[in-house]
Amino acid sequence: MATFTALYDACVLYPAPLRDLLLELALTDLFRAKWSSYIHDEWIRAVLEDRSDLTVAQLRRTRDLMDQHVRDCLVEDFEELIPSLTLPDPNDRHVLAAAIRGRADVIVTYNLTDFPDKALQKYGITPQHPDEFLLHLFNLAPSLVCAAASTHRARLKHPPKTTVEYLETLERQSLTQFVAALRPYAARL
C-alpha cells in the first residue's frame, strides 16, 4: 500500500461527480485517502442546503459506504489539536488537525487560500487543488487512473454518460488540466 496520503476537504466530497472519482481512485492504492467525521458533517450539510430532494438518511448511507470501502480512511482523535492551530478561517482548523493526525502529505481542496503554505509547511503538508492532485495521479499511473475513470463512468446510470459527456462533467468541476490529459485516452474511458 502507498504511503503518500491525501486528506479530502469537504469541498471535494461535494459535488458528487468529483467525490465518486476521488473514491474510485482511492481504491487503486496509488495513495491513501483520508477524511474525518467532521469533514463528513460539513459536506453533508452543504448537500442538504442545496438539495432538498435528498435526505439525511441517504447521505449517511453514502458516508457509511465511503468509510467501509476505503481502507483506513477515517481520521480520529485529532480534536485536541484544533485550538492550537491558526488558519485564515478558524472553521477550517479541524481539517488541518485531521491532516496532521492522519499524517497527510496533501490536503485536496478547492479552497487553497484557506490553507496557506506558510501555515501548513511546518507540518509537512501541502494544499492541492483537485485538478493538480488528479493530474499528478494521472502522470504517475495513466493506466490505473484511466481504469478508475472508466469504472466511475460505467457506474453512472441516472443518466448514463457518453465519454464526451463524462469529460464535460469533470471539466465543470474545474478539472481542466486533468481532463486535457484524459482526452487522448477517451477510448479507454
**Torsion angles phi and psi, residue 32, rounded to 5:** -105, 130
CB atoms within 10 A of CB 60: 12
Give 3-state DSSP helix, strand, coil % of the chain, rounded to 5. 60, 10, 30
Residue range 63-89, pLDDT digits in tens: 999 999 999 999 999 999 999 999 999
5-129 belongs to which homologous superfamily?
5'-nuclease (3.40.50.1010)
Asked if pLDDT for residue 1 goes beyond 80, the answer is no
Q: What is the residue extent of each domain of the chain? A: 5-129, 134-188
Residue range 90-126, pLDDT digits in tens: 999 999 999 999 999 999 999 999 999 999 999 999 9
Mean of pLDDT values over 26-32: 95
User: If pLDDT is split at 50, 70 and 90, which confidence band does 9 have?
Assistant: very high
Whether the Cβ atoms of residue 35 and residue 98 lie closer than 8 Å to each other: yes
